[in-house]
Structure 1
Amino acid sequence: MLELLVVVTFFGYIFYLRNYADLRSKSEKEEAAFSKGIELYKNGQFDESYAYFDLKISEKPKSGVAYLYRGLSRKGKGKRTEGFQDVQTAASIDDDIFRAHMELGRFYLEDQDYNAALQSLNKAVIKAQETSPEPYYWRAQVYLQLGQRTEAGADFASEKRINEQGKNEKQAPRLKAPFFNKKLVASMVMAAFTSTIVVMSIKNAETVHLPYLITVLAAIAIGFVEPTKGWVIALLQCVLVFSGYLLFTTQPETSGRRELENFGLYGSLVLTMAASFLGGFMKRALVMK
């Protein structure tokens, strides 16, 4: 039973890491992963960027970002129809990619289909959530073509405001992120669960190997989830394990069993701190790679 709990706990942490620890959206993760290809496109190396994203689509056929930039690369190469189809595919795969809707709006604007352009750019403005001034700029261009100068002026004003906010953020000193956040609280809850498993293993295992294995796996996961704040979670786990053992378990009757449990208890505390540091080191190494 304990071995099963070890496996469930470890893979539960892996699932948490893959799905909840990284709070970026799917498209933000893809943009970070495809930064090399995006840079090629921005530098006007359309043949190279097309080849890059064509390969990525064969590897990840459900990547909206890959379709978006393959389409833009195709447009840069003069293959406008194929480019338009790719951008349409990008928007259909991931409706939250504001740039896909914006580029569709630009295609329609070039074709003088102003109603379709306005519809796509309205969606781009909503999806961007004021993180980019570009959707406002292009929607203003559509409004000008439609003779709606008041609306165009409002969009140009929004574009200017977002640009100024971006400049001010670059100039202003970076504010320190709050220490306690949802991610840290979730990690604390997980630490409480793993602490319970560690205490159970100390009380029931015939050797120290199982408690040490559970402790090391849990602590590495702690450091991996919280590479900068992992010491807090590790310290919490130490406190929970130590207090849980003393308050909620009975002392063994034999001296041999007492020594075994004490060895498991104090060894687990040391391993928690050491392995959490190792997990944080592994996460930082992967990020830098």
Structure 2
Amino acid sequence: MEVALLGFLFVVYLFVRYFVIDHDTPAEKDRLRFAEGIQLVQFHRYEEAFVYFNQVVKQCPKSSIAFAYRGKCHLRNGNPYSALFDLTVALSLDNTIPDSYLDKGIALFQLGQFGEAFKEFDKAVWYFRGQQPDAIRWRALARMQLDQYGPARNDLIRAIELGDENSAYLLKQPPFSNVIFS
């Protein structure tokens, strides 16, 4: 009887250990491993962060986070083609990173590919669950380039509701400043 009880408790322990406690995704684990480089990005030290993540990509070629942050560095350093490559690789390794969709959309927008940029911004808005004003504002900018001013206006209003001052500025500019929407 005690053996059966101990066996049952051991199975419960294993279940809790592997399915309840330790459920970090590879991306979450990589965020912890690469915290030093992520901090460089957060402090806008993109050159240093690029060197860091360039090395990490060589050591961990299957890390979506490494490619995503190297792509972010490329983007901030004015290299949208390289950013597009790295962000495409990052999304092929893990397609659930909202920042990668946003950054890929920005790179495409900078390259004048507004339709493709809109698709990436739309995915970013979806993965951020509509709570990230930057993604919504960028989607509005892409919509403006595609002559979709009504939906763009709605996006800007939603971004303003989330506290985005840049969207408030854009809404006061033409074509919105001269048009009365009902």
Q: Fold match, TM over 0.5? A: yes
Query: Does the 8 Å CA contact 2:83/2:104 hold for their aligned counterparts?
Result: no
The residue that corresponds to 1:250 in the other structure is none
> What one-letter code is carried by the residue in structure 2 that aligns with 1:18?
D
Q: Distance in 1 between matches of 2:78 and 2:125?
A: 27
Aligned pairs for 1:210-225 within 5 A: none
- C-alpha spacing 1:136/1:26, structure 2 compared with 1 (3 Å): farther
- Kindly indicate whether residue 11 of structure 2 is the aligned counterpart of residue 14 of structure 1: no
Structure 1 stretches of 5 or more lacking a match?
Answer: 165-289
Q: Distance in 2 between matches of 1:26 and 1:136?
A: 27
Q: CA deviation at 1:29?
A: 5.3
C-alpha distance in 2 between matches for 1:30 and 1:131 = 24
What secondary structure does 2:162 align onto? helix
Please give the per-residue CA displacement for 1:155-186, whole angstroms capped at 9, x wherever unaligned.
1111111227xxxxxxxxxxxxxxxxxxxxxx
2:134 corresponds in structure 1 to 134
Q: TM-score, normalised by structure 1?
A: 0.48
| Alpha-carbon offset, residue 10 of structure 1 | 4.2
CA distance, structure 2, for counterparts of residue 8 and residue 60 of structure 1: 34
| One-letter amino acid of the structure 2 residue matched with residue 94 of structure 1 | D
Flag the 1:80–1:121 CA change in 2: closer, same or farther, 3 A. Answer: closer
Residue equivalent to 2:151: 151
1:104 paired residue number: 104
1:173 alignment partner in structure 2: none
Distance 1:129 1:151 in 2: 18
Q: Is the 8 A contact 2:122 2:139 kept in 1?
A: yes
> Would the aligned equivalents of 2:70 and 2:83 in 1 still touch at CA under 8 Å?
yes
What RMSD over aligned residues (CA atoms) do the two structures have, in Å?
A: 2.8
Counterpart amino acid of residue 113 in structure 1? Q
Shift of residue 116, structure 1, vs aligned partner: 0.8
**Residues 129 and 56 of structure 1, relative CA distance in 2, 3 Å threshold:** same
44 and 148 in structure 1: CA distance in 2 versus 1, 3 angstrom threshold: same
**Which residues in structure 2 correspond to 1:176-255 (within 5 Å)?**
none
Q: SS in structure 2 opposite 1:163?
A: coil
1:49-68 correspondence runs (5 A): 49-68=49-68
- Shift of the 78–146 alpha-carbon distance from structure 1 to 2, 3 Å rule, reads closer
Alignment: residue pair count: 160
Higher relative contact order, chain-length normalized (CA < 8 Å, sep 6+): 1
Give the Cα separation in 2 of the matches to 1:56 and 1:7: 38
Amino acid at match of 2:49: S
Q: Which amino acid aligns with 2:102?
A: M
Matched, 1:123 2:126: no
Aligned residue in 2 for 1:88 = 88
Can you give the 5+ residue segments of structure 2 that lack an aligned partner in the other structure?
A: 165-182
Shift of 1:137: 0.7
Counterpart amino acid of residue 14 in structure 1: R
Question: Rg larger in 1 or in 2?
Answer: 1
Deviations, residues 58-115 of structure 1 (Å, cap 9, x unaligned): 4543332221111121333444422221111111221111111111111111111111
The alignment's TM-score, normalised by the length of structure 2, stands at 0.73
My pick for the range that moved more, 142-151 or 70-79, is 70-79
